[in-house]
Amino acid sequence: MSTHRPADDDADVTGEADARTSGTAAGTEQDAAVKAAGLGSSPQDSGRDRSEHERLATEALLRTDDVIAGYVPGVNILNGCDFYVNDGELVGIIGPNGAGKSTLLKAIFGLIRVSSGTVRLRGEDITGLKANQLVAKGVGFVPQTNNVFPSLTIEENLEMGVYQSPRKFKQSFDFVTGLFPALGDRRAQRAGSLSGGERQMVAMGRALMMEPSVLLLDEPSAGLSPALQDEVFVRTRQINRAGVSVIMVEQNARRCLQICDRGYVLDQGRNAYTASGKDLINDPKVIELYLGTLAKA
């Protein structure tokens, strides 16, 4: 599996770091609006939220506890982020640009340094482990961009997914092509000749080749046409129903909340709100503050 950092990460880093350090009027107004709507946390509320997180995350498959992380020393993107996903869940993460959504996935997958807090998988502390170690433990990751080997065929891309355990190839290939039949039919085609949506299917398939217990998806619908976006969401749900827990970061907030079991709203690097997808999509406060700007038709 490819675990290299996407080529446009520098732009992502700059954008997220600027969001934390610029102190723009828009950011200040949004922060004030969050607090006014009752979605923000005072120090006392933060304590209650952490206590509730500790209670609910006791049996979690994967959890983060009070994670602080960033790309530049002294500039934190995540500021005490609590998160968890249970076995069999599909959990969506939404929020404004610069909120730390993609940063959370990269912190979980060992692509950026966690300066404080812990990441645990089935109770085991996996904070800071390298990506190849995490893949071996059952954590898969699909980055937003540069997520296929364009010069390799579809089949060769999938072979890279089991680089650590090549004997798994046939069984895993059958599983993945069962979910994505087109990958089997076009196995000899080079990935570089595929459309954006098709490449996304290859990237997701490759991440599934090691039979992960949890799959991290970073903006899987980004840059795709509405029709292909719908296909990505349908496929994501199919992956989840096949027994893989999924954590999905998405800008298409409304569509994400429609398919997820639970959702998190991240803002300023911490949890602003969390509830079931159904509750979030129908909450007037969330609609006003987030879905109005993040949701797509």
Q: What are the extents of the domains in the chain?
A: 9-40+86-110+126-294
How far apart (Å, rounded) are the C-alpha atoms in residues 265 and 36? 16
Residues 6+ apart with CB under 8 A from 146: 2, 4, 6, 7, 8
In this structure, what token pair is assigned to residue 202? 């290859």
In this structure, what token pair is assigned to residue 162? 């089991």
pLDDT at 48: 60
Q: Residue 154 is inside which H or E element, if any?
A: helix 154-161
Crossing angle for the helix pair 196-208 and 226-241, to the nearest 10 degrees? 10
pLDDT at 124: 98
Sign of the four-CA dihedral 82, 77, 87, 276: positive
pLDDT at 74: 86
SS3 257: helix
How far apart (Å, rounded) are the C-alpha atoms in residues 141 and 133? 12
Q: What are phi and psi of 49, to 5 degrees?
A: -60, -40
Residues 6+ apart with CB under 8 A from 42: none
Crossing angle for the helix pair 169-179 and 226-241, to the nearest 10 degrees? 130
What fold does the segment set 9-40+86-110+126-294 form as a domain? Rossmann fold (3.40.50)
pLDDT at 41: 41
- Which residue's structure tokens are 């089991």? 162
Per-run averaged pLDDT (10 residues), the chain, 297 residues? 38 40 40 42 52 92 97 93 97 94 97 96 97 96 94 98 94 95 96 93 97 97 90 95 97 94 94 92 87 55
pTM over 0.85, yes/no:
no
Cβ neighbours of 155 (radius 10 Å) = 18
How far apart (Å, rounded) are the C-alpha atoms in residues 239 and 215? 9
How far apart (Å, rounded) are the C-alpha atoms in residues 215 and 96? 22
pLDDT at 47: 56
Length of the chain: 297
pLDDT at 180: 94
In this structure, what token pair is assigned to residue 167? 């004997």
pLDDT at 275: 94
How far apart (Å, rounded) are the C-alpha atoms in residues 83 and 157? 31
Residues 6+ apart with CB under 8 A from 101: 93, 94, 95, 249, 266
